[in-house]
Amino acid sequence: MLSVVVFLPLAAAVVLFAVPRVSARFARWWWVGVSAVEFALIVALWVAAPVSDGYVYEVNLRWIPSVSSGYHIGVDGLSLPLIALTGGLFLACAVYSLRQDKRVRSFAALFLFLETVSLGLFVALDLILFFVFFDLSIVAMYFVIAGWGHRDAARAAVKFFLYTFVGSLALLVGFIALYLSAAPHTFDIVELTRQNPLAGSGWAAGLILLALGVGFAIKTPTVPFHTWLPPAHTEAPAAGSAILAGVLLKMGTYGFVRIAMPILPEAWRRYALVFVIVGVVSVVYGALVALAQRDFKRMIAYTSVNHMGYIVLAVGAAGLVADSAVKARQLAVTGAVTQMVSHGLITGALFLLAGVLYERGGTYDLDRYGGLARTAPRFAGLTAVAAFASLGLPGFSGFIAEFQIFTGSLGAAPVATIVAFLGILITAALFLRAFQKVFLGPSQSAPAADLTVPEAVSITPLLVLTVVIGIFPRFLLDAIEPVSRSVLTLLAR
């Protein structure tokens, strides 16, 4: 069942390619239809999930037995919200791209392929399987940026590929080291978590954590590994940016919580302070650089660095043993996972809105716009909602996430957490400023058309969801909380 969910988009992509002469119209609707079915399936999975502590819908087949690597997949409270986010964002992108007219068939096929890859990564319970999907996500996104990006897309795509590929190879080295340190050797995440193979081995565990940390930090991205992100985001097509920020960035933080923390608890605790510091620096640096941007899309890209920094801060704080209550650290982990979902929804929406802006004015330069609210009120309204959601106003999912992160981290890392508070202030300032410039004030450009139906239909549900999570977060937290409890238990070993 889970395998069907993972590979359905891929099958749909193959169909799209195999049928010889499909019209662009058919390709668009096929893409939307498949994404809708896929999203419905994921929701059904969530609703029907049997309540249990471990993994559900688990499948474990032999794949490469000579290196003890198997096709092992399953979901728990950590991966369920993320695959739901993935399904939702891909559906939104499919709807948004209904107006797409440049090589629609390949575009749709590529996105369907990317959807399979992303889902596969979040359900993989085997390091090699995880790595396969991790690498394929890079390849697919490379073609999205190179094929459909604008302006300087080729360079940005190469930079993106090289940079994240470095990360993936660091990961591979770390994975091989983990494999060899386990007895018997295995790539199975569940088995490795159970074994805790590097307990008591000082520097080896530290080196492996360094390899994994670099790999995931590049993908996340945190300062100082973030430099690939702004060009990749600005040159990618709107739907590509939304997926890149909404789904692909989560692969890094997901890796921290799924692989690094449970398998290397001792090393994680020892070096937790490093993650706290990297997190805080990302928060403040990302916000400050975002403040300095004149380009709307670059600004959102840097706020991603800021928002992902909160997650790194939280998972780092969870590892600090400094006499903070278990309860608080648990709150930090829950907040981190909630932030992954929340950031995916909000940034996805923001990037799609940026795409709308580009469509109207042909540029992302904030100075070239003004007074758009008069001619495009719905556009202005949705952007306002997204901006307020992003700066973490109560009533939105971002507030729930950040509140938990701060409350959870404060006890463990008080100074860092207080510094990170500044990040919220700065993002508030920059979003208000940008909004003011583009939508209020005197009109600067030709009157722009308001949102079209596909645009509105794709962006609105994302923002509705952040409000729903912001007001009724229980359904999400109920899924996440058992996992953060068990992550902390594993971490305490």
State yes or no: residue 242 binds other proteins (CB under 8 A). no
Instruction: Kindly provide the b/e burial profile for residues 352-370, where b requires at least 16 CB atoms within 10 angstroms of the residue's own CB.
Output: bbbbbbbebbeebebeebb
**DSSP SS3 for 69:** strand
| Minimum distance from residue 103 beta carbon to other proteins (Å) | 6
Nearer to other proteins, 64 or 292 (CB): 64
Nearer to other proteins, 42 or 178 (CB): 178
Query: Least distance (Å) from other proteins to the CB of residue 313?
Result: 29
For position 425 contacting other proteins by CB under 8 A, the verdict is no
Give the shortest CB-170-to-other proteins separation in angstroms: 7
Closest to other proteins by CB, 207 vs 384, is 207
The closest alpha carbon to 484, from 492, 89, 110, 1, belongs to: 492
Nearer to other proteins, 13 or 430 (CB): 13
CB of 486 to other proteins, least distance (A): 29
Kindly state the smallest distance separating residue 361's Cβ from other proteins, in Å: 25
Which of residues 176, 273, 274, 419 is near other proteins by CB under 8 A?
176
Residue with tokens 């799609």: 352
The least CB distance from residue 289 to other proteins, in Å, is 26
Select the residue interacting with other proteins from 177, 244, 290, 386 (CB under 8 A).
Answer: 177
Interaction between residue 172 and other proteins (CB under 8 A): yes
The reply on whether position 11 binds other proteins by CB under 8 A is no
Q: Respond yes or no on whether the N-terminal peptide bond of residue 184 is cis (omega within 30° of 0).
A: yes
Q: Which is nearer to other proteins, 147 or 381 (CB)?
A: 147
Measured torsion, CA atoms of residues 182, 188, 194, 198, in degrees rounded to the nearest 10: 30
Residue (115 or 455) nearer to other proteins, CB = 115
CB of 218 to other proteins, least distance (A): 11
Following DSSP, what letter does each residue of 127-155 receive, concatenated?
HHHHHHHHHHHHHHHHHHHHHH--SSHHH
Nearer to other proteins, 218 or 438 (CB): 218
Using rule CB under 8 A, residue 24 touches other proteins: no
What does the alpha-carbon distance between residue 391 and residue 307 come to, in Å, rounded to a whole number?
9
By CB under 8 A, is residue 403 in contact with other proteins?
Answer: no
Count of positions (residues) in the chain: 493
d(CA 458, CA 349): 8
Residue 44 neighbours by CB distance under 10 Å: 12
* Min CB(65)–other proteins separation in Å: 6
Please identify, using beta-carbon distances, which residue of 102 and 433 lies nearer to other proteins: 102
DSSP state of 340: H
Q: Counting contacts by CB under 8 A, is residue 294 touching other proteins?
A: no
Q: How many residues make contact with other proteins (CB under 8 A)?
A: 32
Least CB distance to other proteins at residue 437 (A): 35
Nearer to other proteins, 80 or 192 (CB): 192
In the bound state with other proteins, the residue whose beta carbon lies nearer, of 181 and 458, is: 181
Which contacts of 119-123 are long-range, i.e. CB under 8 A and separated by 24 or more positions? 119/5, 119/6, 119/9, 119/83, 119/86, 119/87, 120/6, 120/73, 121/251, 121/254, 122/75, 122/79, 122/82, 122/83, 122/86, 122/254, 123/2, 123/6, 123/73, 123/74, 123/75, 123/79, 123/83
If the CB atoms of residues 3 and 443 are measured against other proteins, the closer one turns out to be 3
Taking CA atoms, 423 is separated from 27, 30, 263, 302, 315, in Å, by 42, 42, 31, 12, 17
**One character per residue 50-89, x = contact with other proteins (rule: CB under 8 A):** ------------xxxxxx----------------------
Binding to other proteins, residues 112-171 (CB under 8 A): 128, 131-132, 135-136, 139, 142-143, 146-147, 154, 157-158, 161-162, 165-166, 169-170
Cβ proximity to other proteins: between 192 and 420 the closer is 192
With beta carbons less than 8 A apart as the criterion, state whether 198 and 204 touch.
yes
CB of 265 to other proteins, least distance (A): 23
What's the per-residue H, E or C state across 93-117? HHHHHHHCCCCHHHHHHHHHHHHHH
CB-CB contact of 50 with 80 (8 Å): no
Q: What would the two tokens of residue 300 be?
A: 């959102």
Which is closer to other proteins, CB of 178 or CB of 401? 178
* Closest separation in Å from C-beta 66 to other proteins: 4
In angstroms, rounded to a whole number, what is the distance separating the alpha carbons of residues 120 and 134?
9
Residue 173 near other proteins by CB under 8 A: yes
Q: Considering the rule CB under 8 A, would residue 206 count as an interface residue with other proteins? A: no
Residue 34 CB, shortest distance to other proteins, in Å, is 21
The DSSP line for 180-249 is HHSSS---BHHHHHHH-TTTT-HHHHHHHHHHHHHHHHHHTT-TTS-TTHHHHHHHS-HHHHHHIIIIIH
User: Distance (Å, rounded) from C-alpha 208 to C-alpha 206?
Assistant: 5
The continuous run of DSSP H or E covering 83 comes out as: helix 79-96
Least distance from C-beta 106 to other proteins, angstroms? 8
Q: Which residues pair with 188 in a beta bridge?
A: 126
Which residues in this chain contact other proteins in the complex, by CB under 8 A? Answer: 62-67, 103, 128, 131-132, 135-136, 139, 142-143, 146-147, 154, 157-158, 161-162, 165-166, 169-170, 172-173, 176-177, 179-180
